[in-house]
Amino acid sequence: MEQETKRTLRNYGICIGIELLIAFLVIWSKGFFTDSAAVNLQILGDAFFVAGILMTLFAGLMFVSGEGALIGVQYVFRHVFLTFIPMGRARYERYADYRERKMEKLKKENNSHVIVTGLIFLFIGITLTVIWYKAFYNV
C-alpha cells in the first residue's frame, strides 16, 4: 500500500476509535444492560449522537483554526502574557506582522476524516433515535 493510503486509513481508524470510546463512555454512564430494549435503543442513539456531534464540532473548530480565525486570540493572549514578564514589551510585534508570520506557518492539511466519521456517527445516532421514536414512544 502507498504511504498516503496507510496514513488515511490510520487517521480514519483513530477517529473511529475515539468516537467509539466516547459512545462507550456514554453507554456505560447510563447503564446500558440494566433496562428494557426501548431504553437501551434510546441510550445507543444518545451515545452515537453525542460522539458524532462532538467530532463534528471538533472538525469545525479545526477548520476555523486552520483558516487563521484564532490568530487574533493568540495575539491578545501573547501580549497579555508578555505584559507580566519583565522587559516583555521589548519584543513587541504589530498585529499585521504577527498575522503574516502565523499565516505562513499554517499548513493546509486534509482533515476530512474527522468530519466524515463525525457525520456518520451523527447519522447513526439520529437514525437510532428515529427508530426509537417510531417504535417505542407513546404520547
Confidence of residue 136 (pLDDT cuts 50, 70, 90): confident
pLDDT tens digits for 34-90? 778 888 999 999 999 999 999 999 999 999 888 888 888 888 888 888 878 777 666
Contact of 22 with 54, CB cutoff 8 Å: yes
Residue 25, pLDDT above cutoff 80: yes
Question: Worst-scoring range by mean pLDDT, 25-29, 51-55, 74-78, 123-127?
Answer: 74-78
The half-sphere exposure of 108 on its side-chain side, counting CA atoms within 13 A, is 2
Higher-pLDDT residue of 31, 27:
27
pTM for this prediction: 0.80
The DSSP annotation for 10-49 comes to HHHHHHHHHHHHHHHHHHHHHTGGGS-HHHHHHHHHHHHH
